[in-house]
Amino acid sequence: MQRSLSPIPSLDDLRSGGKRTVARALAAVETARGATELTALLDAAVQAARAHVLGLTGPPGVGKSTLTNALVRQARAAGETIAVLAVDPSSRRTGGALLGDRARIQTDPEDRGVFVRSMAARDRLGGLSDDAVAAVALLRAVYDRVIVETVGVGQSEADIDLVADTVVLCIQPASGDSLQFMKAGVMELPDIIVVTKADMTEMARRAAADVMGALSLTGSGGGWQVPVIRLSAATGEGLAAFADSVRDHQTYLADGDRAASRRTAQEARWVEEAIRVRFGTEGLARARRLLPPTGGPFTREAAFAARLTTP
């Protein structure tokens, strides 16, 4: 069991201590895995979640960081606090974040209402490491809004659905991505689709039409119709329509128990994926036999690890 060099802050500390305290907690996520204090903090954060989590995914260069900048400005103008977790590919040499998306997100260092952090995808094909999942659990208990920006999307990079309340798939005109979407089955993933760089007028219209055609092949599920929005974060075109679609999806989730059911399913998948990565499919099968479905997601994973590694 690893432990951090400094005490792990409480949830109250995170909410009152500012960005430095939040950064210390996220460092503990990476350096104190399995520590009892960290597990307790993470499970408390899950129970106290308050933020809507927006997941932005799409190929490199599509404009996710530019859109994130615009959304941060909107949130601060509305008096809301916001956190951004940029998940980058991992360096093979250091294991750290390779692209450093944080450098492309423009914020005021003195603004206590904005927090931006880069994390590496590490060896997870799905794009989100267990550390990133834990970071989202903490951030959504502290801030009003959370944006998770991932390295891309394809047949294997769909883990954004593990943490996001609303998944936004970004594509750009003339990229040929729409044909790949139909092959990869990615149309089952997003709640909102954004065609970026809408100032490329005709090509943007054509890309939106292609995507709508791909959507028509998958059908709709659960009553939510996935909107396709042409957007230019640089000029502001489509930002109002995008904000309306996010609010509409929040309203949709708030109807009945959809939001709670989505998060409960996500938490179960957190436990399964963490155990599968660490102990393999046989370990996951043993966990299903050994562990009762009670306690927080991080407590259950830690309890199984302790039982499996104890002589």
Token pair recorded at residue 164:
């996001």
Residues 96 and 180 in one domain: yes
Residue 148, pLDDT > 90, answer yes
Residues 222 and 130 in one domain: yes
To the nearest whole number, what is the mean pLDDT of the chain? 83
Closest CA to 75 of 150, 143, 11: 143
Confidence of residue 180 (pLDDT cuts 50, 70, 90): low
Residues 193 and 81 in one domain: yes
- The stretch 113-136 carries a mean pLDDT of 80
pLDDT at 48: 95
Residues 243 and 272 in one domain: no
Strands (E), 1-81: 52-57
Q: How far is Cα of residue 71 from the mean position of the Cα atoms in its chain? A: 15
Residues 176 and 271 in one domain: no
Residue 24, pLDDT > 90, answer yes
Confidence of residue 65 (pLDDT cuts 50, 70, 90): confident
pLDDT at 231: 92
Q: What are phi and psi of 56, to 5 degrees?
A: -105, 125
**Least confident span in 66-80, 146-160, 277-291:** 146-160
**Least confident span in 144-153, 203-212, 213-222:** 213-222
Domain CATH for 208: 3.40.50.300
pLDDT at 298: 92
pLDDT at 197: 86
pLDDT at 189: 83
Residues 89 and 147 in one domain: yes
- ∠287-291-297 over CA atoms, to 5°? 90
Residue 308, pLDDT > 80, answer no
Residue 238 lies in a domain: yes
Residues 245 and 276 in one domain: no
pLDDT at 1: 42
pLDDT digits (tens, 9 = 90+) for 95-111: 444 444 445 566 777 89
Residues 285 and 205 in one domain: no
Residue 7 lies in a domain: no
Residues 87 and 217 in one domain: yes
What does the DSSP 8-state code read for residue 227? P
Residue 148 lies in a domain: yes
- The stretch 131-153 carries a mean pLDDT of 91
In percent, how much of the chain has pLDDT > 90? 44
Token pair recorded at residue 60:
């490199």
Residue 236, pLDDT > 80, answer yes
Residues 233 and 118 in one domain: yes
pLDDT at 181: 56
Q: Can you give the C-alpha Rg of the chain in angstroms? A: 19
C-alpha distances out from residue 37 to 8, 28, 29, 236, Å: 7, 10, 11, 44
Residue 221 lies in a domain: yes
pLDDT at 251: 96
**SS3 (DSSP) at 75:** helix
Residue 40 lies in a domain: no
The count of structural domains within the chain is: 2
**Least confident span in 162-171, 200-209, 212-221:** 212-221
Give me the domain span that covers residue 208: 51-257
Residues 74 and 219 in one domain: yes
Helix, strand, coil shares of the chain, percent, nearest 5, are 50, 15, 35
Token pair recorded at residue 201:
């007028």
Residue 145 lies in a domain: yes
The pTM score is: 0.89
Residue 226 lies in a domain: yes
Residue 114, pLDDT > 70, answer yes
Token pair recorded at residue 95:
């294991």
Residue 29 lies in a domain: no
Per the CB < 8 A criterion, the answer to whether 165 and 262 are in contact is: yes
pLDDT at 219: 62
In percent, how much of the chain has pLDDT > 70? 81
Residues 133 and 245 in one domain: yes
Q: How many CA within 13 A on the CB side of residue 251?
A: 6
Residue 135, pLDDT > 90, answer yes
Confidence of residue 310 (pLDDT cuts 50, 70, 90): low
Listed in sequence order, the residues at least 6 apart from 311 whose beta carbon sits closer than 8 Å to its beta carbon are none
**Of the ranges 8-22, 152-166, 170-184, 211-225, the best mean pLDDT one:** 8-22
